[in-house]
Amino acid sequence: MLTSFSISQLVLISTTYLLTLFGVAWATEHRWVPRWIVRHPLTYILSLGVYASAWAFFGSVGLAYQYGYGFLAIYLGLSGAFLLAPVLLYPILHLTRTYQLSSLADLLAFRFRSSWVGAITTIGMLLSAMPLLALQIQSVADTIGILTRQPIQDYVALAFCVLITLFSILFGARHISTREKHEGLVFAIAFESLVKLVALLIIGAYAVFVVFDGPSDLDMWLSQNQSILADLQIPLQEGPWRTLLLLFFASAIVMPHMYHMIFTENLNPRSMVSASWGLPLFLLLMSLPILPILWAGLKLGAPTSPEYFTLGLGLAVNSERLTLLAFMGGLSAASGVIIVLTLAMSGMVMNHLVLPLYQPPAEGNIYRWLKWMRRTLIVAIILAGYGFYLSLGSQQDLSNLGLVAFVATLQFLPGVLSVLYWPRGNSYGFISGAVAGMITWSIGMLLPMFSNIQEFYLPLLDYTYVLDDRNWHFSAIAALSMNCITFILVSLLTRTSIEEQRSAQACVVNNVRRPERRELYVSTPHEFAVELAKPLGAVTAQREVEQALQDLQIPFDERRPFALRRLRDRIEANLSGLMGPSVAQDLVSTFLPYKTDSQSYISEDIHFIESRLEDYQSRLTGLAAELDALRRYHRQTLQDLPMGVCSLARDREILMWNRALEDLTGITASRVIGSRLDDIDRPWRELLTNFAQDSSPHLYKHALQGAYEPRWLNLHKAAIDEPLAPGNSGLVLLLEDVTQTRLLEDKLVHSERLASIGRLAAGVAHEIGNPITGIACLAQNLREERDDDAEIIEISNQIVEQTKRVSRIVQSLMSFSHAGQQNQDDYYEPVNLFEVTSEAIHLLSLNKLSKTVHYYNLCDTQHWTLGDSQRLAQVLINLLSNARDASPEHGHIYIRTTASNSHVELSIEDQGSGISTASLEHLFEPFFTTKDPGQGTGLGLALVYSIIEEHQGEIHVESPCDLEQQLGTCFRITLPRQQPTATLLVSDLL
Ligand code: ADP
């Protein structure tokens, strides 16, 4: 006696199973399942296992019975699609993520820029979804019928539908925007796939090891039943096998539930890489048990049709557990497909049938409205599927139902391929192709299902076409051919709108999208929100703008046209995720339009082109890669040019801002590229705008008075054609920082002035020298001649004293003017700085009348320079006496040396009064002194300066050097260094 189950028992089991599914989804949503598991590629692969519907679970055995090895098409077709992932699935995933396209209808409507395309695709998909839904419902009803061995109870099927609807609403329609994924749903579907895989493997293993007693026994049985093996081979030669392969290849992408799981609910784009081999592997595992189950069923004479051998095996061996396992596997396969298919369809119907006709009022909460509408649609679609199942009279075999559904979806394959690879295809072509295909499909496949028409006569070909199971593949190929031919012909013969051409270019694989640089009416994100509030309501509009700003990481006060264009695109994509591309395009082009008047002009957006090229770099090959390398080289040259480069479009939008310009202006490229020249910071704004408007192409030594130290710039400009938009003449500006040159020139002028004063001084000294000597002689003569007159003696003494003073001045003038005149090579020798300093200190301390200060000679005895020791001693005497004069009584004066490989630095630091900023400027000029008349000549530092220059050195002064007390002065002299070893040699020689 065969096992039999009661209805209530089965209902209880189904309910428990579905509740478990609820539990899994609920636990995932509440983060009880770790995220890394949920986002693991394995979860993704298993969730794609939704592909193996009840048809695969049960129907495959039937297919194997009917078509032999042909049943493998279901696995091979899909594996083919996944192995081609890099050229087929990745590009679609990229498109769906970039433009937030949640379904195939979205993708096609976006590409063909037509809401009609969306609507027709949705209707076509609905037509094909109905048989598929009915198939799943029927498989559940059938299995329950077989197990209870009672006529099929439709209300059980209805109860099943209600539970599934509940699940879909709770876990599949939680978020309305495609940007948020339903993790609970994905994980629950993955769980379902695991259940059916395990169930099928166990049943397969049972068939091999229990029914057949192991592989060798199976082998023996097959050799005794040669005809069964031969059955497997023969049908391979015929048409259905190839058509099946094509069907399953297409279904991987175009079936709504597959599209939904592969693209819309993809939690992690990188998982697709694993799925490209993981899913074929999963399906291989699913296909392994099929033949053993078929053979075991045949051997045992299972009490069901071959389609249900998976279930029948358990019945035949009278095993309750095995039967229930098969039942559970079938249940999970059926429920998985219904849930995902309904969700996918509800989104499509919403975006392409409901929203274009009726949009929610702006005052209400749009998000809520969308959510509830979606839920209503889920209920409606499942009910429609149930209605379809009832209308079929439950007498259809599963594989036939499945084929009808699959051939319908096949009609969208040409559309998808043209999205990626044929930009010439247009909406007229697509619509007429799809309609032609669907009509042929309806006549060849749908009609025979409902009516008794078994054949019809084709008058043109004078051929009677018989509609039966064996001929379905003719109908399929006829429908596809009609579709392709019509699509191609109509596309070639009709005109494509510019908008459509643009989005066609945007979708084509490996095409660098070339968006246009157009001007928007709105100029701030706030205005975006105000405009969008008209159709969406203030709250929704604000939320959408904020979301888009956040996605792009743009601040709320952004005004750059470039960034605003990106914002507009982003808002369109986000709205597309919410309401479908047709409605989103409509809203954005109505409320955020581009300027169209003659003032505005269109050119290509080169920032975008460049950023896209960066993304594509690794994928470019051959000539394209070489061109890209060349582009990079030129770009790099401009970027690294040691001169500021800035290029402007005709409307003064900044297209390029190189590194030197970043350094020069302190404004980063990322901040200004894409903005208008009048939006950059001062003082650059005035400088560049005025220069750009100016008629002269050059501006030399322009002094820029900014917030910081003054700069001198040379500016040049040239007109260039804007990239890819000849006729639009932009500008390229070059900015050369000549501040250093300018400072050097100043220094040169300064020393030239000093030199000329020196020459003047020499002349004057020479001229004064003789008369002064004369005066001194006369005064002495007078003193000697009139040595009796005390008054005369006193006066002549004073004259002599004053002439001595004048002589001293003349002397120092002479030595100042002589500086640099001797040929240094003749008498330069290595000079030890420590020794020179000691000598200078010694000489100074001989003057007992001056105030007492302490000199600290901290020079390194190893530091040598090459020069005239007498004149260097003079330098030190001058500096030290100045330091002494400025220092307080008992002040300290430090003399130190430091050295690098090539130079020694001598510093003289005192703790005196310091030098005022005003004095610093004139310090080295002859006759500059702050001392009382008679105290200083103002020639000391001038002399020091010329001696140091003569020694190829430099002198700098820091004052005050003690910043805290605002006291002290430090003179630093840098001189070429002489290495001590070399010095010794030289001095030995000398
Ligand atoms: P003189 O010493 O004859 O005045 P100098 O050319 O040597 O001429 O110096 C010019 C001026 O520089 C001095 O009058 C003095 O005001 C200032 N000066 C030079 N060295 C120092 C110092 N170490 N501290 C303060 N002031 C100094």
Q: Where are the alpha helices (DSSP H) in 514-580?
A: 525-536, 538-552, 561-579
Verify that 582 and 653 share a domain, yes or no: no
Verify that 307 and 372 share a domain, yes or no: yes
Size (the chain), residues: 990
Cβ 940 under 6 angstroms from ligand 1: yes
Whether the pLDDT of residue 307 is over 70: the answer is yes
Cα 921 to ligand 1 centre (Å)? 12
Verify that 754 and 853 share a domain, yes or no: no
Verify that 453 and 528 share a domain, yes or no: no
Atom of ligand 1 nearest to the CA of 939: 6
Give the list of residues 6+ apart from residue 905 with CB closer than 8 angstroms, or none.
Answer: 897, 898, 899, 972, 973, 974, 975
Cβ 891 under 6 angstroms from ligand 1: no
Which of 766, 795, 818 is the last residue before a domain boundary? 818
Whether the pLDDT of residue 394 is over 60: the answer is no
Residue in 949, 726, 990, 723 with CA at minimum distance from that of residue 824: 949
User: Which residue's CA is the nearest one to ligand 1's atom 8?
Assistant: 938
Atom of ligand 1 nearest to the CA of 926: 6
Verify that 593 and 647 share a domain, yes or no: no
Atom of ligand 1 nearest to the CA of 941: 6
- Per the structure, the complete domain to which residue 882 belongs is given by 825-989
Verify that 95 and 158 share a domain, yes or no: yes
Cα 981 to ligand 1 centre (Å)? 37
Cα 965 to ligand 1 centre (Å)? 20
| Residue 504 forms part of a structural domain | no
Residue in 280, 290, 307 with CA at minimum distance from that of residue 77: 280
Residue in 334, 276, 219 with CA at minimum distance from that of residue 78: 276
The torsion of the CA quartet 120, 121, 126, 127, rounded to 10 degrees, works out to: 70
Cβ 923 under 6 angstroms from ligand 1: yes
Cα 929 to ligand 1 centre (Å)? 6
User: Which residue's CA is the nearest one to ligand 1's atom 19?
Assistant: 882
Whether the pLDDT of residue 101 is over 90: the answer is no
Whether the pLDDT of residue 485 is over 90: the answer is yes
What's the domain count of the chain? 5
Cβ 926 under 6 angstroms from ligand 1: no
What pLDDT is stored for residue 511 in this prediction? 60
What pLDDT is stored for residue 430 in this prediction? 92
- Please state the pTM of the whole predicted model: 0.65
Please give the residue that has the higher pLDDT: either 319 or 968. Answer: 968
**CATH value at residue 103:** 1.20.1730.10
Instruction: Count Cβ atoms below 10 Å from residue 629 Cβ, excluding itself.
Output: 11
**Between 104-112 and 115-148, two packed helices, what is the crossing angle to 10 degrees?**
170
Band (641; pLDDT cuts 50, 70, 90) = very high
Cα 23 to ligand 1 centre (Å)? 92
Whether the pLDDT of residue 398 is over 70: the answer is no
Cβ 233 under 6 angstroms from ligand 1: no
| Residue 508 forms part of a structural domain | no
Verify that 620 and 476 share a domain, yes or no: no
What pLDDT is stored for residue 724 in this prediction? 59
Residue in 83, 95, 75, 49 with CA at minimum distance from that of residue 273: 83
The torsion of the CA quartet 406, 411, 414, 415, rounded to 10 degrees, works out to: -110
| Residue 511 forms part of a structural domain | no
| Residue 856 forms part of a structural domain | yes
- pLDDT single digits (tens) 155-179: 778 888 888 888 888 777 666 666 6
Atom of ligand 1 nearest to the CA of 936: 3
The dihedral region occupied by 499, where left means phi > 0, alpha psi between -120 and 50, and beta the remainder, is: alpha
- pLDDT single digits (tens) 843-891: 888 777 778 899 999 999 999 999 888 889 889 999 999 999 999 989 9
Whether the pLDDT of residue 897 is over 90: the answer is yes
- Mean per-residue pLDDT for 557-566? 80
Q: How far is CA 757 from CA 644, 767, 806, 942, in A?
A: 40, 15, 18, 10
Cβ 913 under 6 angstroms from ligand 1: yes
Whether the pLDDT of residue 909 is over 90: the answer is yes
| Residue 509 forms part of a structural domain | no
Give CA–CA dist 599/344, Å, rounded: 45
Residue in 510, 552, 584, 581 with CA at minimum distance from that of residue 101: 581
What pLDDT is stored for residue 985 in this prediction? 46
Cβ 969 under 6 angstroms from ligand 1: yes
| Residue 683 forms part of a structural domain | yes
Verify that 360 and 306 share a domain, yes or no: yes
- Name the residue of 878, 892, 929 to mutate for ligand 1: max ligand atoms within 8 A of Cβ: 929
User: Quick one: CA dihedral 341, 347, 351, 353, positive or negative?
Assistant: positive
Which of 551, 571, 600 is the last residue before a domain boundary? 600
Whether the pLDDT of residue 734 is over 90: the answer is yes
**CATH value at residue 905:** 3.30.565.10
Verify that 261 and 168 share a domain, yes or no: yes
Verify that 759 and 877 share a domain, yes or no: no
Point out the least confidently predicted range of 250-254, 522-526, 603-607, 861-865: 603-607
Verify that 139 and 248 share a domain, yes or no: yes
Q: How far is CA 147 from CA 151, 204, 586, 893, in A?
A: 10, 20, 54, 112
Atom of ligand 1 nearest to the CA of 935: 3
- pLDDT single digits (tens) 653-686: 888 899 999 998 888 888 888 788 888 888 888 8
Give CA–CA dist 66/316, Å, rounded: 21
Whether the pLDDT of residue 408 is over 90: the answer is no
Q: With 0-12 CB in 10 A as exposed, 13-18 as middle and 19+ as buried, what is 924?
A: buried
Q: Where are the alpha helices (DSSP H) in 301-365?
A: 309-316, 320-349
Q: What is the DSSP string of 764-808?
A: HHHHHHHHHHHHHHHHHHHHHHTTT-HHHHHHHHHHHHHHHHHHH
| Residue 2 forms part of a structural domain | no
Cross-strand pairs, 908: 895, 971
Atom of ligand 1 nearest to the CA of 908: 23
Whether the pLDDT of residue 467 is over 80: the answer is no
Give CA–CA dist 984/959, Å, rounded: 37
- Mean per-residue pLDDT for 103-125? 89
Which of 737, 763, 797 is the last residue before a domain boundary? 737
- Mean per-residue pLDDT for 392-417? 77
Verify that 369 and 398 share a domain, yes or no: yes
Q: With H, G, I as helix, E, B as strand and everything else as coil, classify residue 71.
A: helix
Cα 769 to ligand 1 centre (Å)? 26
| Residue 47 forms part of a structural domain | yes
Q: What mean pLDDT value characterizes the chain? A: 82
